[in-house]
Chains A and B, each alone.
Chain A
Amino acid sequence: MTAVTQVGKGIKPEGRASRAIPATAWLVVPTGLFFVIFFVLPFALMALLSILSGNPLTQSNVGFTSRSYERFAADPLYLEALWETLWLGGLTTLAALLMGYPIALWLARMRSKTGYTLLLMAVVAPMLTGIVVRTFAWMTILSDKGVINVSLASLGLIDRPLPLMYNAFGTIVALVHIYVPFMVLTLAGVIGRIDHRLEEAAISLGANRFRAFLEVTLPLSLPGILAGSLLVFALTISAYVTPYLMGGSRVLTLPMLIYQQVSASFNIAFAATLGVVLLAVSLVLLMAYNRIISQVSGREDLA
């Protein structure tokens, strides 16, 4: 349709859209510049630093080197951290999917307007709380003197506190809590677009409700499952606070290593190398996610 912002020059007949770009297009410039300077360039510099032998502004004789990447590939510590990061991300994603799906289905199928609003608020409420606060909440529940261990001990069910925290288990529980809402919102968006009548048709043809769900709704919601999983996985592998506080010394992930390299080893070049590895994984996830979302909705602004 013709842009009417050019009305001063006369309105063009509908259908013959003008090629000229309207004045409103310039509104993107400030944000674009801001992103280039403070987002694109910093990431480019990070990639550059990871292959330079020093700081080109303060040192002479700075050349290209692959030593940081060789160090990453040669030391099992770093590969294990990468593996542990991906593995924690995978388990968290799976748990978030199992928990998020029922809620998303409930939300998408809710007929009452009030019920919908209340449930949506319950899902969004944890998102209004910072990750530090939510990690703290799980520490009060899972620690040795926490709610679960004290309750079980007072009931006489355990003699010693269960090891619920300072390990992968506690880390995953808290991470799931933090990222389930993202899964629910993505899934509900996709399930909501599935025609309700398809499932009803299956039921009227003799399938029971469970089978109708399993053979109609579940396959149709597959793009939502994929998109939600990619999103939660991407968010989980970049988590720092939760693995740090809930994992104790037993969990070492890539983001923790990056911070260590800066704060303890002052090795920014190697931190940049680890950053590039993490960024590469995330970029692949992001592209896959955008592709799925745009296929489902024809729009990329849904999440």
Chain B
Amino acid sequence: MKGRLRDLDIGATAFRALNIAILVFLLGPLAIVAVFAVNPLPYISFPPVGLTTRWFEKFFASEAFVNGLLLSLKIAVIVTIISGLLGAAAAIALARGRIPGAKLLISAFLAPLMLPAILTGFAIFQCLITLGIGRPIWALVVGHIIVAVPYVIRTTLAVLSDFDKRIEEAASLFGATPPRVFFEVTLPLIRPGVIAGCIFAFITSFDQFPVSLFLVSPGNETLPIVMFNYMKFDLDGALAAASMVSILISLAVVLTVDRLVGLRATMNL
């Protein structure tokens, strides 16, 4: 008995050590970027020698970076709003509308998550070229919505399948009209799911690269595309600063939403 206990302890310790090593692998790179963002050496090099804000200054002084950041933010906001509406509406219909073949429709709506995003961008791009339209910004927005809507549908469906349909039925038994049931029962109940989906939608759009690759046009480049073009030629602290800015914006969105509505309820999906 004692021997087995010791075995167990060694196994458990090894398991924990392995897991901590994997967590370091997952989170370490992000910490290293944070170090490079404030390291004054001209090129990415190690070890860090001090603290500086010069890379953040360089980032905010660069027209390309700032324009990219503003465009990314603008697109992400529009994409989040439209995806939230489209995704929530579709999820309600799929969960409550008794649509024949709803299961198949759900897989179709979720398909952009697993099909190559670079092809989603390319497919829209070659439509525009074939029709002679060029590359308008709305096409970029449309491409982002295609890959953002599935998140809203998935999180809203998860909430809808969790809560009891009888709550809605009870409301109507007590005389609520269908619109009233919808606005006063269904909508408040699915809110956490829609909000969680909207966060994913925002981050998917804000960090989007593969869909944007074919759909950006010169002068209208999103932040990830500007960073990618920069990285082809140069690796300096400005990139680390750009990375930190984009990480902090994603984090700010998550924390603001958490403060406003509480994510605790939405994260346990």
Q: Which residues of A contact B (CB under 8 A)?
A: 1-8, 11, 17, 21-28, 30-32, 34-35, 38-39, 41-43, 45-46, 49, 55, 57-58, 99, 102-103, 106, 117, 120, 122-123, 125-141, 143, 145-147, 150-151, 177, 180-181, 208-210, 231, 234-235, 237-241, 245, 255, 258-259, 262, 268, 271-272, 275, 278-279, 282-283, 285-286, 289-290, 294, 299-301, 303
Q: Which residues of B contact A136 (CB under 8 A)?
A: 33, 227, 231, 235, 239-240, 243
B101 → A minimal CB distance (Å): 11
> Which of A26, A117, A137, A146 counts the most B-chain CB atoms under 10 A from its CB?
A137
User: Bound complex: CA of A57 vs CA of B161, how far in Å?
Assistant: 47
Q: Which residues of B contact A (CB under 8 A)?
A: 4, 7-8, 11-12, 15, 18-19, 22-23, 25-27, 29-30, 32-33, 36, 43-47, 86-87, 89-90, 92-94, 96-99, 103, 105-120, 122-127, 129-132, 142-143, 145-146, 149, 153-154, 157-158, 161, 165-166, 168-169, 171-173, 176-178, 181-182, 203, 206-210, 213-214, 224, 227-228, 231-232, 235, 239-240, 242-243, 246-247, 250-251, 254, 267
A-B contact count, CB below 8 Å?
A: 306
Q: Which residues of B contact A140 (CB under 8 A)?
A: 29, 32-33, 36, 44, 235, 240
The answer to whether B227 and A132 touch across the interface, beta carbons within 8 angstroms, is: yes
B158 → A minimal CB distance (Å): 6
B62 → A minimal CB distance (Å): 16
The answer to whether A150 and B267 touch across the interface, beta carbons within 8 angstroms, is: no
The answer to whether A131 and B207 touch across the interface, beta carbons within 8 angstroms, is: yes
The answer to whether A145 and B45 touch across the interface, beta carbons within 8 angstroms, is: yes
The answer to whether B99 and A21 touch across the interface, beta carbons within 8 angstroms, is: yes
User: Bound complex: CA of A283 vs CA of B116, how far in Å?
Assistant: 10
A34 → B minimal CB distance (Å): 6
The answer to whether A137 and B32 touch across the interface, beta carbons within 8 angstroms, is: yes
Q: Which residues of B contact A150 (CB under 8 A)?
A: 45-47
Dominant SS among interface residues on chain A: helix
User: Bound complex: CA of A52 vs CA of B205, how far in Å?
Assistant: 33
User: Bound complex: CA of A283 vs CA of B114, how far in Å?
Assistant: 9
The answer to whether A300 and B254 touch across the interface, beta carbons within 8 angstroms, is: no
A50 → B minimal CB distance (Å): 10
- Nearest B residue to A31 by beta-carbon distance? B90
The answer to whether B267 and A120 touch across the interface, beta carbons within 8 angstroms, is: yes
Dominant SS among interface residues on chain B: helix
Q: In the complex where A41-B127, A125-B30, A146-B44 touch, is A35 in contact with B108 (Cβ < 8 A)?
A: yes
The answer to whether A42 and B118 touch across the interface, beta carbons within 8 angstroms, is: no
Q: Which residues of A contact B116 (CB under 8 A)?
A: 234, 237-238, 255, 278-279, 282
Q: Which residues of B contact A282 (CB under 8 A)?
A: 114-116, 119
User: Bound complex: CA of A148 vs CA of B97, how far in Å?
Assistant: 56
Given contacts A134-B30, A278-B116, 9 further A-B contacts (CB under 8 A): A5-B182, A31-B87, A34-B146, A45-B130, A46-B123, A130-B246, A133-B224, A147-B46, A258-B122
The answer to whether B19 and A3 touch across the interface, beta carbons within 8 angstroms, is: no
Q: Which residues of B contact A241 (CB under 8 A)?
A: 209-210, 228
B11 → A minimal CB distance (Å): 6
- Interchain residue pairs A-B with the least CB separation, the first 4: A238-B116, A25-B97, A130-B207, A42-B123
Identify 9 residue pairs between A and B in the complex whose beta-carbon atoms are under 8 Å apart, listed by A's number: A7-B178, A30-B86, A32-B90, A42-B123, A128-B251, A136-B33, A150-B47, A151-B46, A177-B25
User: Bound complex: CA of A258 vs CA of B121, how far in Å?
Assistant: 12
Q: Which residues of B contact A42 (CB under 8 A)?
A: 120, 123-124, 126-127
- Nearest B residue to A181 by beta-carbon distance? B26
Q: In the complex where A22-B98, A117-B267 touch, is A8 in contact with B178 (Cβ < 8 A)?
A: yes
Q: Which residues of B contact A8 (CB under 8 A)?
A: 177-178
The answer to whether B123 and A55 touch across the interface, beta carbons within 8 angstroms, is: no
B90 → A minimal CB distance (Å): 4
> Which of A35, A99, A258 counts the most B-chain CB atoms under 10 A from its CB?
A35
